């Protein structure tokens, strides 16, 4: 049965985009999208570790910029397990999504976890990367659908 | 039981694949999913260039759009969508075409001209915006969120993806009529022969293979520290600060994910940022935040040994399909190594 599930996961994996970066455009203000993103991450069982305010840092240093934040998230036990067992994964943990404004829209982007395949041949990690990809892609798609473009 | 489940699984697989194959692709939906993130829902651009109606009606043929989707722009952010089916690509092209209705009719012909003369003309007329070697402006797409050199960044002309998509006639059309919306002037003063010389010069860049450098497959840079845990952290911070980076407060890797008394205090991440560099990099790639901030994690093992661990910057650079960023990340990789070595001195 486990083999079947693995096959199913591989099938599902090939049905989604495999670019290095995942990206979604949302027709809403960044503050609203940030709120929705946090809710969706929690719905999917993730904890938000912290939020990096890149825009604030840039503005403090005298640069003009739009809204730009980075959300760090993980499932705590996964983070602990993977960082202890595979220390070379530490630089890529926790997962991150950048959320930034572009004109009247908000963009959310993240590294496609599956792009780390090249670096981590271990089957356990590769399966985990696919699960993360499915989750992140699901979250981004759901957020996009919540804010349809008015035509 | 197992056989039964296997049959059920393959039946499900067959039905799912059949459904996917039979469904007529929806161009609007595909554009929304694959293209709108960078080009905007209405094609006005952002991270990617604009696909405006004027260009579509005058110079962008369906073949150009198809090849652009398939080949992308190596090193200029736009990925090659190799896994889309022909039907999906055609559906996207039809959706884009529906914005103007008609396809431009450009003559199919190969221009002949003087390469040397074309080079001189390029240097005089084009290189200011497109670069002497035709690599294009710094960054890509349409400027929305930060100040940059142009409202619409001049595209790379020596790009193999672009050259595979653009015909000689299209190049001539753009040179003669310009692209007013992007600030590209119409070079109406040039003779037909001079335009042909320029086209031949630009075309000469085609097929000079730009192979990506082989990837350093190490997942991370790991350096054994010669010092204790706290000393290593302090040494790193001093060295990072001396390299003109602002240092953020230390964070344990698990901080925010566990209660304070449960957090592993032997995995501390030193986070830093050079805001000038960050600002410049965001102008080249607005999605850079996905790998921010610069960080090195210090880990103490059960036996008391200490390691410094950082990301493989060569790998990170590759994620972005952005040649300008790749060069800067190569420098960053070197700086990161120097910092760790210096902290160990």
Name the DSSP letter for residue A147: S
* B106 and B187 Cβ atoms separated by less than 8 Å: no
Nearest CA in chain B to A24: B37
Given an 8 Å threshold on Cβ–Cβ distance, is B219 in contact with A119? yes
pLDDT band at A150 (very low <50, low <70, confident <90, very high): low
Report whether pLDDT(B175) > 80: yes
Given an 8 Å threshold on Cβ–Cβ distance, is B290 in contact with A98? yes
Report whether pLDDT(A59) > 90: no
* Residue-level pLDDT at A116: 93
Nearest CA in chain B to A140: B33
B237-B238-B239 Cα angle (round to 5): 90
* B314 and B241 Cβ atoms separated by less than 8 Å: no
Given an 8 Å threshold on Cβ–Cβ distance, is A66 in contact with B146? yes
Question: How many Å apart are CA B46 and CA B221, to the nearest integer?
Answer: 34
Burial per residue of B263-291, b for 16 or more beta-carbon CB atoms within 10 angstroms, e otherwise: bbeebbbbbbbbbebbbbbbbbbbbbbbb
Report whether pLDDT(A151) > 80: no
| CB contacts, 8 Å: B220 with chain A | 87-91
The pLDDT tens digits for B80-94 are: 999 899 999 999 999
**Which residue is it, tokens 């672009």?**
B162
* Residue-level pLDDT at B340: 95
Report whether pLDDT(B59) > 60: yes
Averaged pLDDT, B3-20: 62
How far, CA to CA in Å, does B172 sit from each of B69, B162, B187, B198?
22, 14, 10, 8
Count how many pairs of residues, chain A against chain B, have C-beta atoms within 8 Å: 175
B39 burial class (0-12, 13-18, 19+ CB within 10 angstroms)? Answer: buried
| % of chain A surpassing 90 pLDDT | 73
**Which residue is it, tokens 């904890």?**
A47
Q: Transcribe A50-91 into DSSP letters.
A: EEEEHHHHHHHTT-----EEEEEEE-HHHHHHHHHH-GGGGG
Both tokens assigned to B306: 């200490």
| CB contacts, 8 Å: B311 with chain A | 91-92
Report whether pLDDT(B7) > 70: no
| CA proximity to B157, closest of B112, B189, B125, B191 | B125
Average pLDDT, chain B: 88
* Contact B214/A at CB under 8 A: no
Given an 8 Å threshold on Cβ–Cβ distance, is B41 in contact with A47? no
Contacts of B79 (CB under 8 A, 6+ apart): A19, A20, B72, B321
ipTM associated with this complex: 0.86
pLDDT band at A18 (very low <50, low <70, confident <90, very high): very low
Mean pLDDT lowest for which of A50-54, B74-78, B177-181, B189-193?
Answer: B177-181
Averaged pLDDT, B239-265: 94
Report whether pLDDT(B168) > 90: yes
3-state secondary structure of B230: helix
Please tell me which residue, B229 or B290, carries the higher pLDDT value.
B229
The pLDDT tens digits for B121-161 are: 999 999 999 999 999 888 887 877 777 778 888 889 999 99
pTM above 0.95, yes or no: no
| CA proximity to B275, closest of B241, B316, B245, B240 | B245
3-state secondary structure of B235: helix
Please tell me which residue, B127 or B2, carries the higher pLDDT value.
B127
- Stated as kind and residue range, the H or E segment containing A25 is strand A21-26
* Contact B290/A at CB under 8 A: yes
Report whether pLDDT(B2) > 70: no
Question: How many Å apart are CA B148 and CA B146, to the nearest integer?
Answer: 6
In angstroms and rounded to an integer, the radius of gyration of the C-alpha atoms of chain A is 17
* Residue-level pLDDT at A82: 98
Averaged pLDDT, B238-253: 93
Contacts of A66 (CB under 8 A, 6+ apart): A30, A55, A100, A101, A102, B144, B145, B146
* Residue-level pLDDT at B20: 55
Nearest CA in chain A to B255: A49
The pLDDT tens digits for A79-124 are: 999 999 999 999 999 999 999 998 889 999 999 999 999 899 999 9
* Residue-level pLDDT at B327: 83
Chain centroid to Cα B24, Å, comes to 30
Given an 8 Å threshold on Cβ–Cβ distance, is B145 in contact with A101? yes
pLDDT band at B15 (very low <50, low <70, confident <90, very high): low
pLDDT band at B4 (very low <50, low <70, confident <90, very high): low
Q: Cis link prior to B241 (omega < 30° from 0)?
A: no
**Which residue is it, tokens 């002497």?**
B132
Mean pLDDT lowest for which of A42-56, A86-100, B308-322?
Answer: B308-322
> Looking at CA atoms only, how far is residue B294 from chain A in angstroms?
10
Question: How many Å apart are CA B170 and CA B164, to the nearest integer?
Answer: 12
Please tell me which residue, A149 or B199, carries the higher pLDDT value.
B199
């Amino acid at each position: 049965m486990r083999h079947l599930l693995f096959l199913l996961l591989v099938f599902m994996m090939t049905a989604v985009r495999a670019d290095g970066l995942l990206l979604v455009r949302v027709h809403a203000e960044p503050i609203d999208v940030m709120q929705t993103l946090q809710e969706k991450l929690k719905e999917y069982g993730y904890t938000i570790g912290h939020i990096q305010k890149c825009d604030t840092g840039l503005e403090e240093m005298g640069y003009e910029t739009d809204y730009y934040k980075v959300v760090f998230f993980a499932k705590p036990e996964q983070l602990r397990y993977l960082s202890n067992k595979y220390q070379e994964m530490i630089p890529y943990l926790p997962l991150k999504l950048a959320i930034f404004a572009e004109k009247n829209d908000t963009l959310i982007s993240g590294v496609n976890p599956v792009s780390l395949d090249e670096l981590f041949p271990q089957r356990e990690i590769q399966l985990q990367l696919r699960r993360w990809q499915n989750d992140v892609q699901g979250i981004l798609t759901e957020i996009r659908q919540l804010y349809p473009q008015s035509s | 039981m197992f056989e039964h489940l296997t049959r059920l699984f393959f039946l499900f697989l067959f039905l799912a694949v059949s459904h996917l194959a039979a469904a007529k692709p929806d161009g609007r939906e595909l554009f929304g999913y694959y293209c709108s993130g960078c080009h905007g829902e209405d094609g006005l651009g952002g991270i990617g260039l604009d696909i405006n109606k004027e260009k579509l009606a005058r110079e962008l043929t369906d073949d150009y759009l198809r090849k652009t989707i398939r080949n992308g722009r190596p090193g200029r952010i736009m990925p090659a969508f190799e896994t889309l089916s022909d039907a999906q690509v055609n559906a996207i092209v039809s959706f884009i075409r529906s914005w103007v209705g008609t396809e431009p009719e450009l003559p199919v012909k190969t221009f002949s001209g003087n390469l040397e003369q074309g080079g001189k003309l390029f240097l005089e007329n084009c290189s200011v915006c497109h670069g002497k070697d035709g690599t294009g402006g710094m960054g890509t797409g349409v400027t929305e969120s930060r100040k940059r050199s142009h409202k619409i960044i001049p595209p790379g002309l020596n790009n193999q993806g672009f050259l595979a998509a653009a015909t000689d006639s299209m190049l001539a059309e753009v040179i003669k009529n310009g692209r007013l919306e992007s600030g590209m002037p119409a070079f109406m003063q040039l003779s037909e022969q001079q335009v042909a010389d320029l086209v031949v010069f630009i075309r000469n860049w085609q097929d000079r293979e730009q192979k990506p450098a082989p990837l350093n497959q190490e997942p991370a840079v790991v350096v054994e520290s010669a010092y204790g845990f706290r000393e290593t952290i302090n040494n790193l911070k001093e060295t990072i600060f001396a390299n003109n980076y602002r240092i953020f407060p230390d964070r344990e890797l698990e901080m925010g994910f566990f209660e304070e008394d449960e957090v592993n205090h032997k995995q501390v991440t030193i986070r830093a940022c050079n805001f000038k560099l960050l600002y410049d990099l965001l102008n080249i790639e607005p999605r850079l935040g996905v790998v921010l901030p610069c960080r090195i994690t210090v880990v103490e093992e059960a036996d008391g040994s200490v390691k410094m661990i950082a990301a493989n910057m060569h790998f990170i650079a590759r994620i972005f399909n952005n040649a300008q960023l790749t060069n800067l990340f190569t420098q960053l990789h070197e700086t990161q190594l120097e910092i760790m070595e210096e902290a160990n001195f």
